[in-house]
């Protein structure tokens, strides 16, 4: 299932990771783990934020996907099922009764 992960990294925790020179490695591991079809990074709500769209094959992958964000970055995370336009068109075609 296509999912959107939005994580707002805690400023203090992510600063510590940055100062140790480990932020590029952390981001690369997150990218390797999720293999996103889209990835965006920027400031939001006063802190570092990443937004990834990726395929979650099974709900059992949720802990492995989120734990490093929660533990290392003390991030506030949202994980939402999403559709692209093609998915939406397919879904709407199956619901029209008129």
Largest CA distance in the chain: 60
pLDDT single digits (tens) 47-83? 999 999 999 999 999 999 999 999 999 999 999 999 9
Task: Examine the pLDDT at 2 and tell me if it is beyond 90.
Answer: yes
Distance CA 94, CA 72 (A): 43
Distance CA 37, CA 57 (A): 14
* Per-residue model confidence (pLDDT) at position 95: 74
C-alpha Rg value of the chain to the nearest Å: 16
């Amino acid at each position: 299932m296509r999912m959107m992960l939005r994580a707002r990294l805690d400023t203090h925790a992510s600063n510590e990771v940055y100062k140790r020179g480990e932020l590029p490695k952390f981001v690369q591991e997150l990218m390797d783990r999720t293999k996103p079809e889209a990835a965006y990074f920027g400031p939001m709500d006063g802190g570092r934020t990443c937004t990834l769209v990726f395929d979650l094959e099974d709900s059992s992958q949720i802990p492995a996907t989120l734990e490093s964000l929660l533990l290392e970055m003390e991030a506030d995370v949202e994980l939402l099922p999403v559709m692209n336009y093609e998915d939406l068109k397919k879904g709407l075609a199956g619901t029209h009764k008129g």
